[in-house]
Structure 1
C-alpha cells in the first residue's frame, strides 16, 4: 500500500486526501451524534455534560468551517507525499504487526504532545484570534471536531511531518493517525459522559475534560490524556464549570416557575 501511495500523482494524492478526510469526518461525526443523541440515552448509558442549547446556526457554521479544514487536510497530503518523493522520508514496507503496534502507540503519545503544544500556543495573545472560531462552539457537538480557522487547521494538521523524517514508519501506522485522532476528537466534543462512574483523571473521562475546556475557555489543553496538563499544571478541576451551569439551571428553573408569558 505504501508503494501505491508513493506512485500516485500529486493531483491523485490531493483528491484521495479530500475523499478520505471528508469521509471520516462525516462517518465518525454522524455515528457519534446518533450514539450520544439517541442510542445511549435510550439504553440509559451515560449522560449529557452541558445542558445548554446549541447556539443559533451552530451546526451550519461548524459544517462550513469543517469543510475548509477538510480542504486543507486533504490537499495537505501533498506534503508527506512530497517528503517521500524527495527522499527525506521513507516508508517501511516490511513492518510486521508488532512493529506497527509499537509505532501506533508512539504516534498516539506524540499526537497528545503535539496537540498540547499547538493548543497552548493558540491560547496565547498572539494566536488566540485564530482559535476563537473553534471556541464559538461553547456547547460542543461531534461536528465541532474540524471546526477550525485555517491557521489552526494548518498547525494541528502537520502532526506526522516530524515523525516521518525521524523514523521509517509503516504506511498503516501513519494512516492510523487521522483515524484515532478523529475518534478521540469526536469523543472529546460529543458533550456526553460515556463513563460517569470513572474518575475525572481516567482516560475514559476525556469528554468531561474537554467539555470543561470549552465551558471555561482556558485550561485542559491536552487531547485524550492528562500527562501534559499535569506536567505544566494546566489541568482544570472537575467542577470548574459548575458556576456557569448552575446559573443556567437557575434561569431555567425561574422561567419554569413564571410559566409562559
Structure 2
C-alpha cells in the first residue's frame, strides 16, 4: 500500500507540474504577451473572468490527482497482470512507435464514445456539467472535470495496459502528448494555419476551433485528437468550416521584439 501511495503521489505531482507548465506558458503567451497581436485568432472574442480561471485550475488539479490513481495502480498492484514492459529490446523500436500510435487511436475512440455517453440528459448534469461551465475555455480548462468524470477519463490507462504491450516510457510520452494536446484544444485561440482544416490531413485533425464550438454550443464535435468519429457518425458541426475560417482570418508572424503580428499573404498549404 505504501508503494501504491508513493507512486500515486509521484505520478500525480508530475502530471500537475506538466499541466501548470504547459497551460501556464500557453496562457502567458496568448493571454498576456501577445494578447493584442493574436486578437484576430481569438475564437470567442471575450475573455474568461478571473473566477473562471480559478475554477478551472482547481477542478483540473483535483481531476489529475484522481486520474493518476489508475496510473499508480498500473505501476503497482496491476503490474503483474497488465502488458506494461520495461525493455525496449523486448519488441524493438518499430513496435514502440506503433504502440504509441495505437494508444492515441484507442484513446480517441474511447473518448468519443465515453464523451457522447456522458452527454446523455440523465448523465450530463452529474458527470459533465462541471467541464461545460467553461463555455469560453482557456488553457486552464484542459482537465477541469467533475471527480466522477475524472475517473472515466483516467480509465483509459488500464484499458491501454490490458490490451497490447506498451513500454512504460511510451505511457509517459502519452501523458505528455495528452497534456499538450488538451491545452491546445482548450486554448481559446486557433494557432494552426488558415484553411488547415480543409487540407487532406487537416480535415481529420481535431482543432481548437472544433472543441471550442463544443464548449460553446454543448453539442457536436465530440472527438479528442481526430475528427474521424465525428465525421463517420454525423456529429461534426455543420458550421465548423465557417467558424474555423473566421478564427483564422490571415496567417500571422509573431514579432517577439514588439509583441505584435504582421499579416502574411499566400497559400496555406495543401497537406
Residue in structure 1 matching 2:149, options 144, 148, 152 = 152
Partner of 1:176: 173
Partner of 1:99: 95
Which deviations, in whole Å up to 9, do the C-alpha atoms of 1:197-232 show, x marking residues without a partner?
Answer: 124352566101001101111110001210010111
Once the two structures are superposed, the pairs formed by residues 238-257 of structure 1 within 5 Å of their partners are 238=239
Measure, in 1, the Cα distance between the counterparts of 2:44 and 2:129. 19
Which deviations, in whole Å up to 9, do the C-alpha atoms of 1:36-68 show, x marking residues without a partner?
Answer: 224555666971110123146111111221121
Measure, in 1, the Cα distance between the counterparts of 2:40 and 2:86. 42
Residue in structure 2 matching 1:47, options 25, 41, 45 = 41
* 1:187 paired to 2:184: yes
Computed over aligned residues only, the root mean square deviation of the Cα atoms, in angstroms, reads: 2.5
Residue in structure 2 matching 1:31, options 22, 25, 36 = 25
Tell me if the contact between 1:193 and 1:208 (Cα under 8 Å) persists in the aligned partners: yes
Partner of 1:126: 122
Once the two structures are TM-superposed, the CA of residue 84 in structure 1 deviates from its matched residue by 4.1
> TM-score, structure 1 length as denominator?
0.81
CA change 1:185–1:85 in 2 (3 A) is: closer
Number of residue-to-residue matches in the alignment:
236
**Which consecutive residues of structure 1, in runs of 5 or more, have no partner in the other structure?**
1-7, 246-261
CA change 1:240–1:22 in 2 (3 A) is: same
Residue in structure 2 matching 1:81, options 75, 80, 88 = 75
Once the two structures are TM-superposed, the CA of residue 180 in structure 1 deviates from its matched residue by 1.1
Tell me if the contact between 2:131 and 2:141 (Cα under 8 Å) persists in the aligned partners: yes
Tell me if the contact between 1:47 and 1:194 (Cα under 8 Å) persists in the aligned partners: yes
Partner of 1:163: 160
